[in-house]
Amino acid sequence: MTIALAVSPTRMELLKLRQRVGLAQKGHDLLKEKMDALVIEFFEVLRRIQEARTKALEQLSVAHRALSMCFAVVGTLETRQVSREARRELQMEISTHHIMGIAVPAVEVGEVERNVLARGYSIHTTSSVLDGASREFERALKLLIELSELNASAFALARELEKTKRRVNALEYILIPRLREALKFIMMRLDEMERENFIRLKRIKAMLEKRE
Amino acid sequence: MSYKIAVVGDQETVTGFALAGATYVHIHATREETLAKLSEFFASGEIGLVLITHRIAEELGLDFRWMSRAKRLLPLVLRIPDKTGYVPKVDELREIIRRTVGAGIMVRKEGS
């Protein structure tokens, strides 16, 4: 059920309303196109997430297994100690690019996997099992960084998609029907006034003729 | 711009990622501490990615969700499974798809 806007039934108002309906319709069409494009983009990102996620999670569980092995062989405390000593200066480059006006992060990361000497802990006091664990975690981290980029894009797209959908629905189901209702009301009213006028004229004419 | 990486997790996760080169780490002990640490991570401009385990994210619950909604584009937040491979049953992304598209969607490889 639509509620008619409060309008005065004049010709001026009618013209204005017609313009507004046209504008709303145009906006609606544009937004709908935007929404379609967003959906396509969104699904593309989702598909890539699916792939990246299975890969990353697999690698992460491999890494955890290697770490457990390391805990067992080297010892828990020693491993923790080494993790504190390790050089921890991994940098990632993040810039934003825009998909249809939405800011989406673009992550660039150099080689995460380091060589044994670059890790920063002393090699001769630690076991090679520890190196293995480090390596697996570095690989996992690289995959996770890639995944995080996709994830953030998906979230940004989803948020925009939701907003666009709201707008499209508001135009389609609220604003445009209301405007049309108002338009109809004015047209009916104007017609009615014309008929009233017609009758009035006829009456006056009849009265004038009777008087003669 | 170049950014650093922060990890919030249990002892094992943190140790592993520290070995891999994550700069900031926090071992989860109490809710309050972790929340304070997280807001510190979110506020600092030099962190580009915060990894947090699913288990802790779930424990922090609504507070964490509010925080990650209120933040700007950066830092990115990614939830990861911990050593037990724990992943919550309700997938966040799937939930979002359900909300935006209005239906659950399975992404399948073509031909299967």
State pLDDT tens for residues B11-54: 888 888 888 877 888 888 788 888 888 888 888 878 888 888 88
Pairwise CB contact (< 8 Å): A89 & B21? yes
Q: Is A108 helix (H, G, I), strand (E, B) or coil?
A: strand
Distance CA A147, CA B76 (A): 10
Pairwise CB contact (< 8 Å): A94 & B1? yes
A165-196 burial by CB neighbour count: b if 16+ within 10 A, else e?
bebbeebeeebbebbebbbebbeebeeeeeee
Q: How confident is the model at residue A92 (pLDDT cuts 50, 70, 90)?
A: confident
Quick check: A181 pLDDT over 80? yes
Q: How confident is the model at residue A5 (pLDDT cuts 50, 70, 90)?
A: low
A52-71 burial by CB neighbour count: b if 16+ within 10 A, else e?
bbeebbebbbebbebbeebb
> Which structure tokens are listed for A86?
């390790």
Structure confidence at residue A1 (pLDDT): 45
Q: How confident is the model at residue B105 (pLDDT cuts 50, 70, 90)?
A: low
* A133 assigned to some structural domain: yes
pLDDT tens-digit series, residues A128-155: 778 888 888 888 888 888 888 888 888 8
Distance CA A64, CA A140 (A): 10
Nearest to B19 among A43, A86, A161 (CB): A86
Structure confidence at residue A4 (pLDDT): 56
Taking the complete model, does pTM exceed 0.90, yes or no?
no
Beta pairing partners, B52: B8, B79
Residue of chain B whose Cα is closest to the Cα of A78? B15
Structure confidence at residue A53 (pLDDT): 86
Q: How confident is the model at residue A190 (pLDDT cuts 50, 70, 90)?
A: very high
Other Cβ atoms within 10 Å of A141 Cβ, number: 30
Output the domain CATH number for residue A108: 1.10.287.3240
Q: How confident is the model at residue B107 (pLDDT cuts 50, 70, 90)?
A: low
Nearest to A145 among B13, B49, B100 (CB): B49
> Which structure tokens are listed for B111?
């031909």
Nearest to B80 among A60, A103, A105 (CB): A60
Indicate the average pLDDT of chain A: 84
Pairwise CB contact (< 8 Å): B73 & A134? no
List alpha helices for chain A, DSSP H. Answer: 11-74, 76-85, 128-169, 176-211
Q: Does B65 touch chain A (CB under 8 A)?
A: no
pLDDT tens-digit series, residues A27-64: 999 999 998 888 888 888 888 888 888 888 888 888 88
Nearest to B21 among A71, A112, A156 (CB): A112
Structure confidence at residue A157 (pLDDT): 86
Distance CA A8, CA A116 (A): 81
Distance CA A20, CA B64 (A): 44
Domain carrying residue A84: 11-203
Distance CA A161, CA B101 (A): 9
Beta pairing partners, B50: B6, B77
Distance of residue A154 Cα from the nearest chain B Cα, in angstroms: 8
Distance CA A21, CA A45 (A): 36
* A4 assigned to some structural domain: no
Pairwise CB contact (< 8 Å): B19 & A130? yes
pLDDT tens-digit series, residues A191-207: 999 999 999 999 999 99
Quick check: B104 pLDDT over 60? no
Structure confidence at residue A30 (pLDDT): 93
* A209 assigned to some structural domain: no
* A5 assigned to some structural domain: no
Give the residue with greater pLDDT, B17 vs B107: B17
Structure confidence at residue B111 (pLDDT): 47
Residue of chain B whose Cα is closest to the Cα of A159? B100
Quick check: A156 pLDDT over 50? yes
Q: Which domains does chain B have, with CATH numbers?
A: 4-87 (3.40.50.10580)
CA A74 centroid distance within chain: 47
Structure confidence at residue B112 (pLDDT): 41
Quick check: B64 pLDDT over 60? yes
Indicate the average pLDDT of chain B: 77
> Which structure tokens are listed for A117?
């000497």
* Residues in chain B closer than 8 A to A61 (CB atoms): 81, 85
Cα angle A197, A202, A208 (rounded to 5 degrees) comes to 125
Tokens 């906006």, located at residue:
A27
Number of domains in chain A: 1
Structure confidence at residue B23 (pLDDT): 81
A–B: how many Cβ contacts below 8 A? Answer: 139
* A134 assigned to some structural domain: yes
Q: How confident is the model at residue B103 (pLDDT cuts 50, 70, 90)?
A: low
Nearest to B101, CA basis, from A152, A39, A28, A154: A39
Instruction: For chain A, give the percent of residues with pLDDT over 70.
Output: 94
Pairwise CB contact (< 8 Å): A90 & B22? yes
Q: How confident is the model at residue B106 (pLDDT cuts 50, 70, 90)?
A: low
